[in-house]
Chain A
Amino acid sequence: MSKQYETVIGLEVHVELATKTKIFCGCSTAFGAGPNTQTCPVCTGMPGSLPVLNKQVLEYAIAVGLATNCDITRYAKFDRKNYFYPDNPQNYQISQLYLPICQNGGVEIETEEGGRKTVGIHEIHMEEDAGKLIHDEWEDCSLVDYNRSGVPLIEIVSEPDMRSAEEVIAYLEKLRLLIQYLGASDCKLQEGSMRADVNLSVREVGTEAFGVRTEMKNLNSFRAISRAIAGETERQIDLLESGEKVVQETRRWDDAKGESYTMRSKEDAQDYRYFPDPDLTPISVSDKMLAEIREKQPEFRDDKMKRYKAEFDIPDYDIDIITQSKHMADIFEAAVALGAEPKKVSNWLMGETLRLMKEREVDAQDLRFSPAHLASLIRLVDTKAINSSVAKEVFEVMFEENVDPEQYVEEKGLKTVNDEGALKKAVEEVIAANPQSVADYRGGKEKAIGFLVGQTMKAMKGKADPGAVNRMLKELL
């Protein structure tokens, strides 16, 4: 390759909002229901049905707009985007083209070189999701489930400001955190509650004009995004190098095959005939509405990190991890507020919590144990009511079922036995039963005491304080 190329990337990010109901009807958005059990005339496009906007959708959209430094459009409208597809029951999608709710924003990301750059946000608009198509091999047909039809989405359209997969991922992480902090969505790529379409073109380094871009869909992990960007960059450069032209089109990424293919057909005119939806009234965002939403904005991550550094004596690394999820940060702060020592709370989160999250594939936002229970577990350890290995055992149950540790320890009889007599009896028995180890210890093998401690703990069914056992052994030997 003789020429030097640069990749230019813009993103269209769809985020499913965490409302209880759909954008234009009172159907539930709960995940995992039987096909078409969460549908009604509105979201199946029955003749004569009409949409009415869910207020929460507008509030979330504005909140995300404020968090991403957008101008909020004070007079916004919904438009119809017309195209035929079976997952789109009206054969038009209600979306926003002419007056989207948020415009001209941007977020700052860290670049690979450690610098900072702003990725511009062209607009954020509200729209409805489509249903789900399932292929039926047996009948050689497709089946449509409209449960997802009408689930509220916001689409965040960036400027073509990114130049690498790393920047794309940094941008997506930034959006994910902002939106999760707002509670507007759980933003899970794998489950489709956050979806990114990549608009990509290449140009020779030093040129001003953009190349012809393609849009890539079906990217449901950071890994897929990275691979698709690499693949598409290469494909476009190859085309240009061999004197061919890049065609503006939509392509579908097949992550298993590691390649993309065109989604264009002659039946696809890509002429959406947008026009204002006459069934919905315009939206006028008042100062009051805006002030109320602004009032409710949470402390975002950057501010939270700064405050943690000032307030808590915990390592920067811990702060970084804890604040990556608002839910985890909430647990941390609440447990500390209940009197637990910040360092100890942090240790539980960084240690056992992360270990179990990894082992059981649980997202931080799905952690179930309450801060009160974590605080009381820490208190149990502090007061030596339980020893640390019992604490870990209890925590595992808390992690799964959010049990109250005090009650649990009580019920299961896990409290450390502080009965001197019982301990002395156990130690004496262990000494009597293990003459070899006793001899070793007395002969100067300090390590042999470890074995004896273990034996005593075993005899005490784990409910002794290992420090006390150690002391007692040394005393009797």
Chain B
Amino acid sequence: MCITDMTAVELAAAIREGKATAVEALQAVLTRIEEKDKELNCYVTVDKEGALKQAVQVQEKIEKGELTGPLAGVPVAIKDNLCTEGILTTCASRILRNFVPTYTAKAVVNLQKAGAVILGKTNMDEFAMGSTTETSAYGVTRNPHNTEHVPGGSSGGSAAAVAAGECFYALGSDTGGSIRQPASYCGAVGMKPTYGTVSRYGLIAYGSSLDQIGPLTKDVRDCATVLEVIASHDDKDSTSLVRQDTDFTKALVEDVKGMRIGIPNDYLGEGLDEEVREAVLQAARVLEAQGAVVERFDLSLVEYAIPAYYTIAAAEASSNLERFDGIKYGYRTEEYTGLHHMYKKSRSEGFGEEVKRRIMLGSFVLSSGYYDAYYLKALRVKALIKKAFDEAFARYDMILGPVAPTTAPRLGESLADPIRMYLGDIYTIAVNLAGLPGISVPCGQDSKGLPIGMQLIGDCFQEKKLLRAAYTYEQYEKK
């Protein structure tokens, strides 16, 4: 078996057993990057030297028995909106083209403690605003399954790197589907945990009330394993939760008997690609055959999630991105006349089009005279959406549906029409508004050979149910 085809957990076991070393694994993956990344462009930064140093150290610790965890020695790719001390962190934006953080995001620190080897930083939509990884200032990332297609976004670099074997697993962030949708487009497993499960400290914020960090992996076991490592209460993040139930690998059980699964009729309606629909329903039939109780129901309010989301996310983003002003870090324009001109020019030259579009929208919906009509209205709708989910979870253990209405679109197809692109988030976005966990699991391919993903959505804190169902499905499909 080629080393780069191993899952993270398999590789760690091989290293523990002396069948491979962390350095060998790193070299294999660096070779893969060299072969493929010119075309795919999964990475903004590959930290060869740093990774080699870490691999040597980690290998030593493993041999001494100081590192025994299930991810020790495994190379990981980190989305470029997570701060990494001493490694360039750009958010795929020109405005941060030279930003080298002086501290590391908590989730990444947790990985390092577990013996992870940081390979580098993956490409993404600029500031995580986009669904295709085409808004990056450092070029598009291509889908490994078909390079004429996008990998999805915003964590497109992470998803593509996992799919292409350019890493063993990756971290992404999900504000409106940014882990689940690219996982689906690239045939990877991706999970957005319950809001507050993974510390946001060191994650460069897009929509603070919606952002969560999560894993992109080759299979469900890796997903549970990574989540178990990165989940932690952090006293530096006020919104971080104290949870006792983060032993997610305990949920890797092949058993869905009696599980109540609801499929929202609203998720199967207009706009859904026929092949995607069929693949997702087929997956549901598999779970049903394994003993789950599958029902259709009306979730309601689905079409209101997108406008509510874009109002809230844009508002928060407009404020979160104010700090990029050319004073403390990042890009400052060459020539200017006075302070305000410096601000305006630096920001206008530093931010890309989509980012500016959302900043403008966000500034507007918060501005005097429109706050109530737009922003508060969106927060009220958010409350209604949360309530609709509460009602659904009173009846079901989880919700099953597609991740996205289609498989990966062709490069350049989406950006021309922003609203159409936003509509692609219709099944993922409400999950972030309600703070819920959601997982994307591969469930087949379309006729063009592009992967299709099934989404499972749970009530808050119910990641284990999702992992159990996903694992059961995955094991069945493997047989």
Contact = CB atoms under 8 A, between A and B. Distances in A.
Chains A and B directly touch (beta carbon < 8 Å): yes
A45 B366 contact: no
Interface string B357-371: 000000100111001
A273 B363 contact: yes
A41 B207 CA distance: 19
B322 A47 contact: no
A48 B83 contact: yes
Interface in A42-60: 44-53
Interface residues of B, number: 44
A114 B89 CA distance: 65
A46 B237 contact: no
A82 B328 contact: no
B327 A47 contact: no
Nearest to B327: A86
B105 interface: yes
Interface in A15-62: 41, 44-53
Nearest to A26: B236
Given A48-B204, A275-B371, A278-B209, A41 B323 contact: no
Given A46-B329, A82-B366, A275 B323 contact: no
B350 to A, nearest CB: 13
Interface string A272-305: 0111001111000000000000000000000000
A91 B201 CA distance: 19
Q: B interface, by DSSP: helix, strand, loop or mixed? A: loop
Contacts of A52: 235-238
A267 interface: yes
Instruction: From A52, A265, A280, name the one whose CB has the most chain B CB atoms within 10 angstroms.
Output: A52
Contact of A271 (B102, B237, B368): B368
B339 A86 contact: yes
Contacts, number: 100
Contacts of A278: 207-209, 239, 316
B323 A45 contact: yes
A61 B293 CA distance: 54
B201 A51 contact: no
A144 B327 CA distance: 9
A53 B239 CA distance: 12
B203 A279 contact: no
Interface of B: 82-83, 89, 91, 96, 99, 101-103, 105, 200-205, 207-209, 235-239, 315-316, 318-319, 322-325, 327-329, 339-340, 343, 363, 366-368, 371, 375
Interface of A: 41, 44-53, 80, 82, 84, 86, 89-92, 144, 265, 267, 271, 273-275, 278-281
22 contacts: A41-B103, A46-B329, A48-B82, A48-B200, A48-B201, A52-B235, A52-B238, A84-B322, A86-B339, A91-B322, A271-B368, A273-B318, A273-B363, A273-B366, A274-B366, A275-B366, A275-B375, A278-B208, A278-B209, A279-B239, A280-B238, A281-B238
Given A275-B366, A279-B238, 13 more contacts: A41-B102, A46-B328, A47-B101, A48-B83, A80-B319, A82-B366, A84-B340, A273-B363, A274-B366, A278-B208, A278-B239, A280-B238, A281-B238
The 6 closest A-B pairs by CB, nearest first: A91-B322, A273-B366, A278-B209, A278-B208, A267-B340, A47-B204
